[in-house]
Amino acid sequence: MLTACCLLALCCSPGAISLLLRSRRVDGGNDRPILGTDLSEDKCSVKFCHVVQADELTHWNPAIVLPELHNRLYGWHNCITYKKALQYSVLVGIVGILAQETDFESFQKFGSSYIAASYVKFIESAGARVVPIRLNRSDEEYNKIFYSINGILYPGGGVDLKTSEFSRVAKIFYRKALEANERGDYFPVWGTCLGHQLLSYLTCGENLLTWTNTDNFAFPLNFTKDAKGTKMFADFPDDLLQEMASDPVTSNFHFWSLSVQNFTNNEKLRSFYKVLTTNVHGNIEFISTMEAYAYPVYGVQWHPEKNPFEWNNRTGIPHSRSAMRVTYYIADFLVNEAQKSNHQFSSKKEEAEALIYNFNPVFTGRFSSFDQAYFFD
């Protein structure tokens, strides 16, 4: 069940109300931010509070809840301030995706860094927007971006974990995220493939990867006993979890992996992350899914974004219905994590200038494993 609460101000000057629309699970699930208001006391007179309950919703859905609020709070829908609040202040999450150097020669003519478009589509498919985090910016700019976005995704790729600019910038946001979460400022961090490996390096300070030659494979997942009741898989239907354990629904394109042995032997990793799934290739068992015990930090060695959004003729990308459902639930989880963050841009103008919409993707499917990519200088 969702409970949405709206404080109705009958006497407000335009611009005095800034609704921060959120939701909170009240059925024993994970907490999510609630619907609240920012009412300037010298300009507004709060009259009453109305509660809307959307019993059939699992997550916040503005397309359903907003019309309900609109209908029940009759009279207020004629208020200019109300219309402006709905138009400008509905926060549904903005996720930053970190760019990385164009290590492919075929990419270098388009720009010095890139983001595969499938990651952008992955985030947008769950109702959030994307801000590209570009390389070689100042610490001041990165700090400003951190407090403007609601989470960060480290994508897959092929650059060095220790020496790349990708790794340097990732470390800045990783440290800021841990510090913010420690003081109650919720900020999720997600790593996919290389990003997953990077999280292990940022956590323990060592490159503990092992050669597994797991490029272009679709695998089922071996769930550990710790996977039950974890945040990442909490809302997955039982039938889908069973399919994930039996069917090859995860896309793997990596030559290196974090082995279970190296993970277990490293105290920093062992105490920071809970292992949710593993896979075995050859004679090596490696970590394929993990989440932090005390922080909203998550890593997957596989590629949930590829299933619906990469169509290169590769056997390692499953396009089954079950594979598509996996992508949907992972994206939904990540975006809902981002919706717990209260970070926001200082103005709509600044927000608009930062969004990925300012860049056009390039069709790269003829010479790359990515169908499309965004490029940056």
Catalytic sites, residue numbers: 193, 303
Q: How many CB atoms lie within 10 A of CB 286?
A: 23
Q: Are strands 129-133 and 222-223 parallel, antiparallel or unpaired?
A: unpaired
Rounded Cα distance, 100 and 91, in Å? 28
Rounded Cα distance, 120 and 308, in Å? 12
What does the CA dihedral 164, 204, 150, 29 come to, rounded to 10 degrees? 150
Residue 34, both tokens: 């609630």
* Contact yes or no for 250/238 (Cβ under 8 A): no
The DSSP symbol for 259 reads: B
Rounded Cα distance, 100 and 212, in Å? 23
Q: Are strands 189-192 and 297-300 parallel, antiparallel or unpaired?
A: parallel
Residue 82, both tokens: 């109300």
Partner residues linked to 189 by β-bridges? 152, 297
Q: What is the DSSP string of 314-376?
A: -TTS--SHHHHHHHHHHHHHHHHHHTT-----SSHHHHHHHSGGGS--EE-TTTSSSSEEEEE
Q: What are phi and psi of 258, to 5 degrees?
A: -90, 110
Q: How many Å from the N-terminal Cα to the C-terminal Cα in the chain?
A: 46
Q: What are the Cα distances from residue 155, in Å, to 21, 26, 140, 375?
A: 29, 33, 23, 14
Residue 304: name the closest of 375, 377, 363, 236 by CA.
236
In this structure, the chain runs to a length of 377
**Alpha helices of 104-193 — where are they, by DSSP H?**
117-124, 139-146, 165-182
